[in-house]
Amino acid sequence: MNAPIGVFDSGIGGLSALPALRAALPHEHLLYWADSAHAPYGEKGDDFVRLRSLAITEHLVKVHGIKALVVACNTATAATIAALRSTYPQLPIVGLEPALKPAAQLTRTGRVGVMATQGTVSSEKFQRLLQSLEGQADFVVQPCPGLALAIENSAHPATQVQANQVVHELLQRFSQAMGRFGTQPGEIDTLVLGCTHYVFVQDDLQRIVGADVRCLSTGEPVAQQTRRLLESAGTLRTSADGAAQTQLLTNGDLAGLQGTAQRWLHLGADHCALANAAV
């Protein structure tokens, strides 16, 4: 089936899941929507995020005819995945949630750090996930207000230098607030990146918390789940269907999207375009 898979996030964050999606789905058309004009979602409340998610999905379904949707945003998944699934019962929809379950399996010290947006950590969905893992690990949950926005700003040529400094300061402040990192008893040895934006600053974070600390994100399992859903729907494209396309749209700064696409995905500027601002 030639229709694209729609992928969206509040901004550039969900692009961090694109390499895993592309690897698992080499023949699919991918259509990414960066809602950068409305970023960040994490501090705007559930109603706002739900309205944005429904508006974007409606547009992707009606105008672009997507055959599946990946909500490449932990905050939007927490606030809105149930509403999306009940509005589009026929559409395969995959959401992202912070990798607490794998972290509980992998930790050796039993202490796991979780960085996510305020919206994610205060959501019912996240609290249920945390409760379901009670006794399996000691989770240190850190909301990170301002971090996704600073990362978003660091993609824009005009604000890049200052935003990188803000990102670094916030990473230092939030990691200090979580306590000691390392592999000794009582230290945090596993860190969940519970927001797709944070994957882009993993190198900086790793320098702060130490190379021994394992950082976990969710692109890979989400890509596998998307593939499984398309397989069971019988809508997977094959090499015989022709070359796969990747199109990235933003309602924010085009140069910022182009820079991110070039730097992280090795995609040229011709893959990027402005989205319909009326959505």
Which residues contact ligand DGL (rule: CB under 6 A)? 9-10, 13, 39-42, 73-75, 117, 120, 148, 195-197
195 in active site: yes
CB of 40 to ligand DGL, least distance (A): 3
CB of 148 to ligand DGL, least distance (A): 4
The C-alpha atoms of residue 104 and residue 112 are separated, in whole angstroms, by: 7
CB of 196 to ligand DGL, least distance (A): 4
Which CB, 52 or 237, lies closer to ligand DGL?
A: 52
End-to-end C-alpha distance for the chain, whole angstroms: 26
- Helix, strand, coil in percent for the chain, rounding step 5: 50, 15, 35
* H-type alpha helices, 88-159: 100-106, 118-121, 124-132, 147-153
Note whether 8 and 60 are within 8 A (CB).
Answer: yes
CB of 150 to ligand DGL, least distance (A): 11
215 in active site: no
Q: What is the dihedral of CA 266, 238, 72, 165, to 10 degrees?
A: -10
Identity of residue 126: F
Which CB, 77 or 190, lies closer to ligand DGL?
A: 77
The C-alpha atoms of residue 39 and residue 214 are separated, in whole angstroms, by: 28
Closest residue to ligand DGL, Cβ-based?
42
Which CB, 67 or 252, lies closer to ligand DGL?
A: 252
CB of 123 to ligand DGL, least distance (A): 10
Note whether 251 and 3 are within 8 A (CB).
Answer: no
Catalytic residue among 144, 195, 215, 272: 195
Catalytic residue among 73, 144, 215, 272: 73
Q: What is the dihedral of CA 232, 32, 219, 173, to 10 degrees?
A: -150
The C-alpha atoms of residue 242 and residue 132 are separated, in whole angstroms, by: 44
Which CB, 57 or 117, lies closer to ligand DGL?
A: 117
Q: Per this entry, what is the length of the chain?
A: 279
Which CB, 147 or 209, lies closer to ligand DGL?
A: 147
Catalytic residues: 73, 195
